[in-house]
Structures are given as structure tokens and as C-alpha cells.
Amino acid sequence: MSRRLLMLCLSLMSLGGLAHCSKSPQESAQPAPAAPTTAAAPVKATAMTVIQEQQASWIRNFNPLIAPGTARWPTRAGVYEPLMVYNTLKGEFVPWLATKSEWSPDNKKLTLTLRSGVKWSDGQPFTAKDVAFTFELLKKHKALDFPAVWSFLEGVQAKDDTTVEFSLTRPYVPGLVYIVHQPIVPEHKWKDVQDPVTYTNETPVATGPFTEVKVFQNQIFELGRNPHYWQQGKPAVESLRFPAYPGNDQANLALLTGELDWAGSFVPDIERVFVAKDKENNHYWFPLVGNTTTLYVNTAKKPFDDVRVRKAISMAIDRDQIVKVAMYGYTRPSDATALSDAHDRWRSPEAVAAGDWTKFDQAKANALLDEAGLKRGENGMRTLPDKTPMKFDINVVTGWSDWVRAVQLIAQNLKQVGIDASLKTYDFSPYFERIQKGEYDISIGWTSDEPTPYHVYRDLMGTETLRPIGVVSARNWNRFGSKEADGLLHAFEATNDPAEQKKIAGQLQMFFVQNAPAIPLFPGPSWGEYSTRRFTNFPNKDNPYAKLTPNSPPENLFVLVEVKPK
Amino acid sequence: MRHLLRNLGLYAVAAWASLTLNFLIPRLMPGDPASIMFARFAGQLQPEAIDALRIAFGFTNEPLYLQYFTYVGHLFQGELGLSVAYFPAKVTDVIATGLGWTMLLAGAAVVISFVLGTGLGVVATWRRGGWLDSVMPPVLVFLGAFPYFWLAMVLLYVLGFVLGAFPLRHAYSDMLAPAFSGEFLLSVLHHLVLPASAIVIATLGGWMLSMRSTMVGILAEDYITMANAKGLSQKRIMFHYAARNALLPNITGFGMALGFVLSGSLLTEIVFSYPGQGYLLIQAVRNQDYPLMQGIFLTITLAVLAANLLVDILYVWLDPRTRAR
């Protein structure tokens, strides 16, 4: 090979490398407003900086129908909007694109009245046709039907411009939440979309407060106001900025340096780390309205099929210590109903009083285990009646540090009553596979996150969600199904009378407390932090108009329209 | 030339082996992406949603060998499939957002580190026993023992967070749109300093020491004595007679190092929120995003193979012995 040819090769290669290097950032460039002259220019006071997703670079995707979490936040509730928004703190559905919902007397027909005068961001009117079209899309493309509305829907009809009628296959009142939380897309834009399942919808036309994509680069994007928004004078915030942060550490760093106005991340020891930096402006609010962190025991296996053993394990656990040591005191011990504060309105005092098995009581735990025939051996450890030692792993996810600490404490607690339990960490995906297939003895986990206790209990003790061991089950990881609970659940589905619902919910709680299908540990905090340096009117404990966290759409809509520049 | 052709054959085999491993490894891991996605919304999705997700991602229960043929077939069409974590974006699009940045960071770091380290090695050996020779190696080896990301964090904290001399994150200022302007390029450079320094500091010692040890051997050679006897200038002897011959092992190391630096720069990128492949890979692993994982490993593998090929070509040019018949 001659030297000249070689030099040519080399120079070509280096050129190729250069061309590639310089091309890729250019390709991802979008037309952006004229850049300020200095790189360190302060952020415009009217742009609110938010972090909800942790990503290193942004992919442009504003499709509200695909799996939650795949499109950029707040596509589902902020760019697009649902018909109503359930407000967890107020315990009611707030009218949004729909003003009213009405059930037929047999609870098999739901009629929604829509708000008139709402416009899409391109100025076209929003009508009942758009709603019917959206639900038809879900019917045609199974992969878009995440809430599984077509498992109970028969048909959707636009009666006139502002009335939509949903007919159901059976009375199913809890289905309301899935229908009204569905983001609605415009028919005139989406009827020509080839495949809505893989559509990235780069320039959204929507009804929400923020519909204009002002900037979209790989490390930052900015959304501007919808010129036709139906709430007069809202939103007060001119635009939302989203810098890309790859992980919790980077996000927390940005929170501490005062770059972020609103976040929803877990910050350890927040008083010292965040609030103390700027007492006047740095605030957080962690109401206990998430789901409940729960210790699952596999009730399909001995000895966990015995209710006395489940209650004994629960009594052996010192929840006060776990809450203080593992959770930085952000939460409190759970009562025996397993309901978090999101369901406070439903809580039955009788059931709470009957549930003595979430109180720390080693003597009682030991007595119950003895009674169940699990005798202590020579070494003080218990064995099953057939002499196999009671030696169990408690599964937890590697790196979920708060839960890992909680499980360490639980393992110590159980050793004290003669059960040889030890911590076992798995990466998320094998952990999740084990709990779903029922291939575990004890595992820490979470409960469902829905407006009523119905779902919490359906997923912990209904037979509908029960699958045999070895088959993946989305819920009911404890493998506990009861016909009696089924009866109560069906009764709940068929009634629309609040008093009746509350009565059945109380009976469900009582049933749960008597049978202990799973062992609740503590209600989960809903993480939210904000800074009042540039914006005010965030929800907090003095003004709890909504959840503060950006992590539970569609409730973040309340915050998006209420926050004001200082 | 024959030497090159034989190497090309080796590269083809290496590429095939890595493609196959690339296909197998993710599939041997437990769990599946749909359930992970489900879990991300701890309890907010309906059980039926899992089935819907599986349909959306097009998971098949085809036998493995069929999946393998489809995979290889698509690969030759430049098709890497749809990403799961960034659904429904194409893997090629996702990788394109970060590839340029990773190449810039790793490339700049390797070149700077190589040139600087080798240069230091040459000078230190030439002035054996001087201050450079006695102070630098232990210091650099000490620094080189730290993992990249740890150095990155220290730099970030001291120079970025405490002193505020450099930006804490990203590849360019959020206020700028990418453009070919002096201002944008300056911003890119300013953002590159800390992450590149972390890699350079960690790798400098290796280059310097290996250069030094070969140089010491070369200096004892007869032709160096001969060159001295001929009265050539010291500079000419140092670079043309000693350094050029001592460079050979380091050049071989260069190709290998690129692989290590690429993987190391992934960690550095995460510390500085640098929009490269590093975090993409983590996202892919967390979400069991096989197509994206495969795509990223593929680009890394090909980059390392290409670098080694380049090194081979350079070698032919540097070492006349490889040009023999």
C-alpha cells in the first residue's frame, strides 16, 4: 500500500468522523427563538422550570394515547386533557372538559355533558365527536387501551355536540375513573394518522394549558401557552422549561442550586439538605396519599396460608422504628386496613379498632406462632410441624435504599420471634417477575393507587385477579382469593349511592382486617418540592387544593393552571 | 498489505461474534419490558394494560433462532427496531441524539490523554532522574487508580459547585440553539472541560509509564549510541530514533484504550448529565430495552473495531517490518 493512498484513507476517515460529530447535534436542532447574547443569561422569570422525568436526552414525542411515561410529561394532562380530574385531597371528581356525569338507574349507562366553547389549539371547536372518536381508537388499537375500558364498555355514542353516552356491558360504577381520565385527541387531526400506536405527534394540537412546543433540543425543551385555552386568564405561567437530568442526584443538585421551581423527587433528610439552604423560598409537602408499602407473604405456601401466622408476622414488626430509621420520619405506621390517607374518607373506625395486628407486640406474636404449631427448636428457631426450619428470604429491589433498610429491620424483628428471615436483594426485573409469578416466600411491595378502596381490595383478595403460582399476575401477588370478598366487590361495582358504597367499603375493610391477606407497613408519601423564588400559589398543607407532586397525572393539571409568577 | 487483509478477516469474525453475543445476552436476562413499564406506574395501571403493552412492543414468542435471523436481516438494512424505553422512537434516532456527543467527549479525551501522556513519557525518559521523572509517575498512577466517575464527581463538586468556574451539566448552554457560531462552539468547549479532564487525569499515567518503559529499553540500543556518535541533534535522536520506535506498543494500546474510555466516558457522562450514550445505556438496561441495548453495544463494538483497524493501518506506516512481503 503506497503511503499516498494511506494518507488519503486516513484523511477520509478523519473527515467522516468530523462530519458525523458535527452533524448529529445539528440534526436534533429545532428552530429556536433568538438566543440571548450571553450563555449565562438568567432564565426568564415567566418560564417555570420543572423536572418530572429523568432522562439524559429528550426524544420528541407528544402522543397522549400510548403508555403513560413514554411521551414527554405533561402530554397526558397539560398538553392534552381528560374529561374530569379526580382530586385525591378533596375526594371528588372536578369537571374539566366534561361538566357533568350521570349514571342511568341500572348503572349500565353513563352520560357525560361536555363544556361548550372549548377550542383546540388550532382554533377548531372541541365536540362530543372527538370524545367518541378517541374511545373508538382505543377499541381499534388494543395496545392503546391501558385502562382497559373496553373490558366493560359496549359502545360510545355522541348524542349531540355536548353529550356523550357510554353503554356498559354490566353495572360497573368504579369504571368512571378510567373513562373520565382518558386524554381526548382531536378527530380532525388524528383520523389520518396511519398507526396511532407508533405515532410521535411532534406538533400537538390539543386543549390543554400548554400546547406550543417553543424549543425542542436534546437536553432541554420548552412548552408555551395555548392561545385558545378555555380557562380565561389561565395559565399565569408563560412557559414550562424541562432541562434533562439523568438521575435523582443530578435533579437534587439542581434543586439545591435553585434552578428548579417544581419537582417531585425523593430527597433524603430534606429539612437539612434543601429547606435549610433557603428557608424563605424552599418548601416541600409530602402528604401520605400515595399507595401503601406492604409486606407480601405468599398465602399459597405453608405456613403463610394460616391467618394466625400472617398476623403474628405483622405483630413482630416494629413499624415505629422502620418509619423513623428507614423513612426519615416522612410517614407513619399503617393501620390494619392498609388504606393510605388518599382513602381517609372511606376509613371505617370499627375496622381500624378490630385490627390489633399492626401494633408491635412480640409476646402475642410468639403466642400465635406457638398456637399455629410452629414450635421453637433447640436453637430457638421455629420449625414447621414436619420439622422443616422456618427459613425465608425477604425480597427487595437492589438500590431502593429506603426499602432495603426497612427489610433489614423486619428481618431482625422476625428473628426475635424465632423466624429465620434474611434480606435478599434482586434487580428490579427479577424481583418483579418473582412477585408476579408468586415464586417467593416474603417480599416487600406496594398496593393499588386508585380513587376508591375497591381496587385496593380487589387486587388483594378478589378471585378475579387470582392466578396460579408460576403464571404472571399483575395484581394479587399474595395469591389470596375469597368468594366472600368477591360478593362485596360485586356489590360495590353495582351501586352509585355514596352511603351504600361507604357501607360496603367498611365491610371490605372488616374482611381484610379479619383475614390479613397482606401485611401493610406504612402509607407512601407523595413527593413534591417547590421554590417560591419565582412562582407562588403551589399547593401545601395550609392550602391543600391538590397533590403537589407532578408524578401523578392528571392531578398535576390543578397546579399547572393555578401557579402564578411572583 | 497481506498483514492488513489477514487482520480484516479477524475483524469480520470479531464483529460477527459480538453481534451474536449482543443478541443473546439481553435475552438470557430474566423479566420482560412490559412488566417493568407496568411497575413504573406502581398500581396505576390495570392488569389488562400489561397485555396491551406487550402488543404495543410487538413481543413475540418466536423460537430464538428465528428471532436471530430477523435480527441479522434487519441489521444489514440498518434497521435496529423500535426502542422500548423511548417508545415509539426508532433506535437509530435515539442513538443519533447522543452518538456525536459521546464521540466528541471520548475522542477528545483519548487524543489529549495519548498525546500528553506519550509526550510526558518521552521527555521524562530523556531527562531521566529529573524532577518530572521522579514526581509525575507516582502522582499519575495514584490518580489513575481512582474510577473515572469518582474523579468526575470531585471535579464537579470543587470546580463546578463550589467555585462555579465550569457548568454543572449538559454539553452546551441551555440558552443556545445548536449552530455553527463561535458562541456555540465556545459553550461546547466550556462544557467539555470538566468531563474530558476527568477521563484525561485517570488515563494519563498509563500512557506515560508504558512510553517510559519502552523508551528506557530503546535508549540502550546500539543505533542510539550510533546516532549520538554521528553527532545528530538531541531533539532528532529523541523523536526520530527513540520515540518513534518506542511508540509502537503505545499505538497498539491506543486501539484497546478506546474501548475502555468509551465505557468509562459513559459513567462520566452520567455525572455531568452529558447527553451521550452513557445514560441511554442505563435507561435501556433499566427498561430491558433490548433493541436499544443492542444498538448501543453495536455502535461501541464497531467504534472499537474501527479504531483498531485504524491502528493497524497506522502500524503499517510506522513499522516497516509489517510491510515485509
Tell me: the pLDDT tens digits for B99-147? 888 888 888 898 899 999 988 888 888 888 888 888 888 888 888 888 8
Lowest mean pLDDT among A114-118, A203-207, B296-300: B296-300
Asked if pLDDT for residue A500 goes beyond 70, the answer is yes
Name the average pLDDT for chain A.
88
Query: CA-to-CA distance for B102 and A514, rounded, in angstroms?
Result: 58
Chain B positions in Cβ-Cβ contact with residue A291 (cut-off 8 Å): 42-43
A1 and B1 in contact by Cβ < 8 A?
A: yes
Chain B positions in Cβ-Cβ contact with residue A220 (cut-off 8 Å): 170, 174
Asked if pLDDT for residue A13 goes beyond 70, the answer is no
Of B47, B168, B178, the CB nearest to A25: B178
> Residue A116 sits in a domain of what CATH number?
3.90.76.10
Residue A429 in contact with partner chain B when CB distance is under 8 A: yes
Chain A, nearest residue to B30 by Cα: A430
pLDDT of residue A227: 93
pLDDT of residue B284: 81
pLDDT of residue A48: 95
pLDDT of residue B45: 57
Greater confidence, B185 or A165? A165
Sign of CA dihedral B202, B203, B204, B206: positive
In a domain, A349, yes or no: yes
Q: Which of A189, A211, A229 is where one domain is finished?
A: A189
On whether both A492 and A463 belong to a single domain, the answer is: yes
What residues have CB less than 8 Å from A372, skipping those under 6 apart? A303, A306, A308, A309, A312
Would you give the end-to-end CA distance of chain A in angstroms?
A: 71
- The amino acid at residue A86 is Y
pLDDT tens digits, residue range A68-91? Answer: 778 899 999 999 999 999 999 999
Chain A positions in Cβ-Cβ contact with residue B183 (cut-off 8 Å): 35, 39
pLDDT band at A27 (very low <50, low <70, confident <90, very high): very low
How would you write A357-425 as a 3-class SS string? HHCCCHHHHHHHHHHCCCCECCCCCEECCCCCECEEEEEEECCCHHHHHHHHHHHHHHHHCCCEEEEEE
Chain B positions in Cβ-Cβ contact with residue A68 (cut-off 8 Å): 41, 44-45
Lowest mean pLDDT among A318-332, A375-389, B236-250: B236-250
pLDDT band at A351 (very low <50, low <70, confident <90, very high): very high
Tell me the CATH number for domain B91-322.
1.10.3720.10
On whether both A426 and A503 belong to a single domain, the answer is: yes
pLDDT of residue B125: 86
Chain A positions in Cβ-Cβ contact with residue B172 (cut-off 8 Å): 219
Asked if pLDDT for residue B60 goes beyond 70, the answer is no
Asked if pLDDT for residue A37 goes beyond 60, the answer is no
B49 and A148 in contact by Cβ < 8 A?
A: yes
Chain A positions in Cβ-Cβ contact with residue B98 (cut-off 8 Å): 56-57, 218
Mutate to test the interface with B, among A257, A429, A464 (most CBs of B within 10 A): A429
Chain A, nearest residue to B325 by Cα: A1
Query: CA-to-CA distance for B19 and B24, rounded, in angstroms?
Result: 9
pLDDT tens digits, residue range B172-227? Answer: 887 777 777 888 889 989 999 999 998 898 888 888 888 888 888 888 889 888 98
Q: Which residues are registered as beta bridge partners of A535? A: A565
On whether both A283 and A382 belong to a single domain, the answer is: no
Chain A, nearest residue to B174 by Cα: A220
Asked if pLDDT for residue A28 goes beyond 60, the answer is no
On whether both A126 and A149 belong to a single domain, the answer is: yes
On whether both A421 and A551 belong to a single domain, the answer is: no
Report yes or no: B95 and B83 within 8 Å, Cβ to Cβ.
Answer: no
pLDDT of residue A12: 37
pLDDT tens digits, residue range A437-479? Answer: 899 999 999 998 888 999 899 999 999 888 899 887 878 999 9
pLDDT tens digits, residue range A129-143? Answer: 999 999 999 999 888
Greater confidence, B55 or A557? A557
What residues have CB less than 8 Å from B277, skipping those under 6 apart? B95, B98, B99, B102, B266, B269, B296, B299, B300
Residue A18 in contact with partner chain B when CB distance is under 8 A: no
On whether both A311 and A441 belong to a single domain, the answer is: yes
Q: What are the sequence ranges of the domains in chain B?
A: 1-77, 91-322
pLDDT tens digits, residue range A177-196? Answer: 999 999 999 999 999 999 89
Q: Which helix (H) or strand (E) holds A223?
A: strand A220-225
pLDDT of residue A10: 38
In a domain, A556, yes or no: yes
A27 and B87 in contact by Cβ < 8 A?
A: no
pLDDT of residue B30: 63
Chain B nearest CA to A562, separation (Å): 25
Query: CA-to-CA distance for A550 and A556, rounded, in angstroms?
Result: 5
Asked if pLDDT for residue A2 goes beyond 60, the answer is no
Chain B positions in Cβ-Cβ contact with residue A260 (cut-off 8 Å): none
Asked if pLDDT for residue A498 goes beyond 80, the answer is yes
Query: CA-to-CA distance for B32 and B111, rounded, in angstroms?
Result: 40
Of B43, B47, B104, the CB nearest to A21: B104
In a domain, A11, yes or no: no
Percent of residues, chain A, with pLDDT higher than 70: 92
Of A144, A220, A429, the CB nearest to B36: A429
DSSP letter at A115 equals: P
How far does CA B1 lie from the centroid of its chain? 28
Burial of B9 (0-12, 13-18, 19+ CB in 10 A): exposed
Q: Which of A159-173, B69-83, B232-246, B311-325 has the highest mean pLDDT?
A: A159-173
Lowest mean pLDDT among A231-235, A295-299, B205-209: B205-209
If one counts the domains in chain A, the total is: 3
Average pLDDT over residues A20-25: 32
| C-alpha cell belonging to residue B47 | 392488569
Lowest mean pLDDT among A97-106, A547-556, B37-46: B37-46
Chain A positions in Cβ-Cβ contact with residue B104 (cut-off 8 Å): 21
pLDDT tens digits, residue range A419-438? Answer: 999 999 987 778 888 898 89
Chain A positions in Cβ-Cβ contact with residue B171 (cut-off 8 Å): 25, 219
Average pLDDT over residues A307-323: 96
Asked if pLDDT for residue A166 goes beyond 90, the answer is yes
B107 and A32 in contact by Cβ < 8 A?
A: no
Lowest mean pLDDT among A480-484, A485-489, B122-126, B302-306: B302-306
Average pLDDT over residues A185-211: 94
Query: CA-to-CA distance for A206 and A75, rounded, in angstroms?
Result: 9
B170 and A219 in contact by Cβ < 8 A?
A: yes
In a domain, A480, yes or no: yes
pLDDT of residue B40: 55
pLDDT of residue A15: 36
> Residue A214 sits in a domain of what CATH number?
3.40.190.10
For chains A and B, count residue pairs whose Cβ atoms are closer than 8 Å. Answer: 225
Report yes or no: A489 and A547 within 8 Å, Cβ to Cβ.
Answer: no
Q: CA triplet A435, A439, A442: central angle to 5 degrees?
A: 65
pLDDT of residue A17: 36
Lowest mean pLDDT among A34-43, A256-265, B246-255, B258-267: A34-43
pLDDT of residue A33: 35
B52 and A146 in contact by Cβ < 8 A?
A: yes
On whether both A436 and A538 belong to a single domain, the answer is: no
Asked if pLDDT for residue A514 goes beyond 70, the answer is yes
Of A40, A57, A66, the CB nearest to B87: A66
pLDDT tens digits, residue range B267-282? Answer: 888 888 888 887 788 7
Asked if pLDDT for residue A309 goes beyond 80, the answer is yes
Asked if pLDDT for residue A512 goes beyond 50, the answer is yes
Asked if pLDDT for residue A388 goes beyond 60, the answer is yes
Asked if pLDDT for residue B309 goes beyond 60, the answer is yes
pLDDT band at A116 (very low <50, low <70, confident <90, very high): very high
Could you tell me the residue range of the domain that residue A111 belongs to? 84-189
pTM of the model: 0.80
B-facing residues of A in 107-166 (CB < 8 A) are 142-148, 151
Percent of residues, chain B, with pLDDT higher than 70: 88
pLDDT of residue A438: 92
Percent of residues, chain A, with pLDDT higher than 90: 73
Query: CA-to-CA distance for B45 and A69, rounded, in angstroms?
Result: 12
- The amino acid at residue A272 is R
Average pLDDT over residues B72-87: 79
In a domain, A40, yes or no: no
Burial of A485 (0-12, 13-18, 19+ CB in 10 A): buried
Greater confidence, B128 or A254? A254
Asked if pLDDT for residue B289 goes beyond 90, the answer is no
Greater confidence, A549 or A13? A549
Residue A197 in contact with partner chain B when CB distance is under 8 A: yes
Asked if pLDDT for residue A200 goes beyond 50, the answer is yes
Greater confidence, A162 or A39? A162
Residue A353 in contact with partner chain B when CB distance is under 8 A: no
Q: Which of A160, A189, A218 is where one domain is finished?
A: A189
B97 and A218 in contact by Cβ < 8 A?
A: yes
Asked if pLDDT for residue B65 goes beyond 70, the answer is yes
